[in-house]
Amino acid sequence: MSEKTTGQIEVLGRRIHEIHATPSGPRGAPKLLYLHSAMGEATWLTPHLNALAERVELFAPAHPGFLTSEGLDEIRDVEDLVYHYLAYLDAKRWDSVAVMGVSLGGWIAAELAARYPERVSKLVLVSSVGIWLREKPIADLFAIDGRHPERLRELLFHDQSSPFAQALGVELSGLPDEVVANFMNAMAATAKIGWNPLLHDPRLDALLPRITADTLVIWGANDRVVPLEYGEIFAKRIPRARLEVVRNCGHMLPLEQQARFLEIATPFITA
């Protein structure tokens, strides 16, 4: 079990929504900064975050524009988010911390670790965007027709019958306004930095060798949004990186293969 609080913190004058969860056992669990995907899963505690928080002290802030987090007006590109999280680390008075990023969050984590290697003690990249392979383009989630929610599900999940996959296959117009508004805000905040170039920074590939942290790259073998080749490139370019491939798994890896995800990620973070 863990104890969690949801609150607001201030970063560069922006009020930021944050979940903070601590294992209920003895003190001294390692800290983990979790950077969420475009789904905004830091806005509620999904099972994988709950499970992680049994072993680590988890900090999961919502990026500007997600849920009630302010400051999207001042974010023009991913570089502005790097400075946002640099200020976040300063606000916490952390010299360095272990950072895990999923998909969109992985991109931000990789940028932060490449530009300010001394601030990231360990790095976990899960199904991360941020670089571009011309032969294997990242799928354009922005182009998915709202009338066909099942297409989003097909892209994000390998097993279409999993509970999370099923929850995604509903039409927006059938959901409560608040849920729809959160979804629209999440997509708008993602598009603000990732519309063009699509969810990547052309400079990042060349910066990856700057990363000094021990790095774990986790990828679904059947990722249809960011194909496995991206995971291979991240693991190749980052000097102290190792790649773990999860079989029978799509893009939303921590949701679709939660047990495997925890088996791989937890020992790395707590070691």
Partner 1 sequence: MKHFLFHLMPYRDLPADFEKKHDSAWVWIPNELFDPERGHRYYNDYLDELAEAETLGFDGVCINEHHQNAYGLMPSPNLIAAMLVMRTRRIKIAVVGNALPLYDPPTRVAEEIAMLDCISGGRIISGQVIGGGPEYFSFSINPAEARTRFAEAHEIIMRAWTQPGPFEFYGEHYKLRYVNTWPKPLQKPHPPIWIPGAGSVETMQFVAKRRYAYMGIPYFHIDFFKRNYAMFREICESECGYRAHPEQMGLLMPVYVAETDAKAREEFEEHFWYFRNKLIPGLTLSPPGYTSVKSALRVLRAMRDGKTWINSCESWDDVERGCFAIVGSPQTVAQKIVEHARQIGCGNMLALLQLGNMPHAKARENARRYADAVIPLVNKEIGNPAEPMPAAIPFPDEAGAR
Binding piece for partner 1, criterion CB under 8 A, among 188-196, 200-208, 216-224, 234-242: 188-196
Chosen residue from 163, 188, 209, 247 binding partner 1 by CB under 8 A: 188
Q: For residue 48, count other CB atoms closer than 10 A to its CB.
A: 23
Question: Strands of 57-61's sheet, edge to edge?
Answer: 2-11, 14-23, 57-61, 31-35, 97-102, 120-126, 214-220, 241-246
* 3-state DSSP assignment of residue 140: coil
Closest approach, Cβ 176 to partner 1, in A, equals 11
Residue 202 within binding range of partner 1, rule CB under 8 A: no
Q: For residue 60, count other CB atoms closer than 10 A to its CB.
A: 27
Residue 1 within binding range of partner 1, rule CB under 8 A: no
Residue 192 within binding range of partner 1, rule CB under 8 A: yes
Contact, 77 vs 248, CB < 8 A? no
Binding piece for partner 1, criterion CB under 8 A, among 42-50, 112-120, 177-185, 250-258: 177-185
- Is the dihedral angle over the CA atoms 102, 107, 112, 117 positive or is it negative? positive
Binding mask 133-172 for partner 1 (x = CB under 8 A): ---------xx-x-xx-----------------------x
Structure tokens at 166: 């099923």
The residue assigned the tokens 């029978």 is 248
Binding piece for partner 1, criterion CB under 8 A, among 54-62, 116-124, 181-189, 210-218: 181-189
CA 243 vs CA 56, 109, 238: distances in Å:
22, 16, 11
Binding piece for partner 1, criterion CB under 8 A, among 53-61, 155-163, 180-188, 239-247: 180-188
Chosen residue from 103, 185, 222, 257 binding partner 1 by CB under 8 A: 185
Residue 236 within binding range of partner 1, rule CB under 8 A: no
Between 144 and 228, whose beta carbon lies closer to partner 1? 144
Chosen residue from 9, 86, 133, 187 binding partner 1 by CB under 8 A: 187
Helix intervals (H) in the chain: 47-52, 78-92, 104-115, 149-156, 163-168, 177-194, 204-207, 228-237, 253-256, 258-270
Binding residues for partner 1, per CB under 8 A?
142-143, 145, 147-148, 172-173, 177, 180-181, 184-185, 187-188, 190-192, 195-196
